């Protein structure tokens, strides 16, 4: 689950969630903030440290590694391939079956992981950072995610997007936008569908 960050995320918000505080305490300790001593630093010290920790935690949450990333890539390729072929219903039925809301199993794909990878690739493709993508796919979809991705900021805006729309809605929107980018990529090149999907989702 994403953790809210930025000016609206105060220590009081987190102190009310004991489980979250237990998770953040060692991360804050890495920033030089010891919450176990019973003496809290002033807000000028605590707030920046808290924001850095929240940003780090969100990055880890939305960036699967190892087996989880491999599983995420496979599922995203399958989903985007189905979207590219117009089989939207099956794409999301398969997604619901294969992706966990949250998981302690490091080999499983999660909603957060699929969302993060999808938006990360959109950032790279639509902002022009991925030199292998054909020019022009951004014009084929018009969403908040697309506008952010064209600036390379969709991934960094994840907490805000999820706070506004909910995690599952953002995942769906990210994959629909990724599917739209796949259709545009396919239309703009001579590549086959499978090659487009593998080029886009990696």
pLDDT band at 136 (very low <50, low <70, confident <90, very high): low
E strands along 17-84, which residues? Answer: none
Q: How far is CA 154 from its chain centroid?
A: 8
pLDDT digits (tens, 9 = 90+) for 108-131: 899 989 988 988 888 887 777 878
SS (H, E, C) 79-140: HHHHHHCCCHHHHHHHHHHHCECCCCCCCCCEHHHHHHHHHHHHHHHHCCCCCCCCCCHHHH
Is a pLDDT exceeding 70 seen at residue 1? no
Is a pLDDT exceeding 50 seen at residue 6? no
pTM exceeding 0.75: no
Using CA atoms, how far residue 35 sits from 16, 52, 72, 114, in Å, is 14, 16, 35, 33
Token readout for 201 is 């989702």
pLDDT digits (tens, 9 = 90+) for 58-102: 777 788 889 989 999 999 999 999 988 889 889 888 988 999 888
Q: How far apart are CA 161 and CA 174, in angstroms?
A: 11
**Within 10 A of 161 (CB to CB), how many other CB atoms are there?**
22
165-197: b (≥16 Cβ within 10 Å) or e: eebeebbbbbbbbbbbbbbbbbeeeeeeeeebb
- Decide: 61 and 2 in contact? Cβ < 8 Å: yes
Where do we find the tokens 């002033």? 42
pLDDT digits (tens, 9 = 90+) for 162-181: 888 788 888 888 888 888 88
3-state secondary structure of 152: coil
In this prediction, residues 147-172 reach a mean pLDDT of: 82
7-43: b (≥16 Cβ within 10 Å) or e: eebebeebeeeeebeeebeebbeebebebeeeeebee
- Decide: 55 and 5 in contact? Cβ < 8 Å: yes
């Amino acid at each position: 689950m994403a953790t809210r960050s930025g000016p609206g995320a105060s220590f009081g918000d987190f102190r009310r969630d004991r489980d979250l505080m237990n998770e953040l305490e060692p991360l804050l300790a890495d920033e030089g903030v010891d919450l176990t001593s019973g003496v809290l630093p002033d807000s000028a010290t605590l707030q920046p440290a808290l924001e850095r920790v929240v940003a780090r935690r969100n990055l880890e949450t939305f960036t699967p590694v190892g087996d989880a990333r491999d599983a995420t890539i496979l599922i995203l390729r399958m989903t985007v391939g189905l979207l590219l072929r117009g089989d939207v219903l099956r794409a999301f039925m398969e997604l619901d079956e294969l992706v966990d809301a949250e998981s302690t199993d490091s080999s499983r794909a999660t909603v957060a992981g699929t969302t993060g990878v999808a938006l990360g690739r959109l950032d790279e493709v639509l902002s022009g950072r991925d030199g292998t993508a054909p020019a022009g796919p951004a014009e084929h979809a018009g969403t908040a995610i697309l506008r952010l991705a064209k600036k390379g900021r969709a991934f960094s805006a994840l907490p805000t997007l999820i706070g506004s729309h909910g995690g599952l809605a953002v995942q769906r929107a990210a994959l629909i936008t990724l599917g739209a980018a796949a259709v545009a990529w396919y239309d703009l090149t001579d590549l086959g569908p499978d090659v487009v999907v593998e080029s886009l989702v990696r």
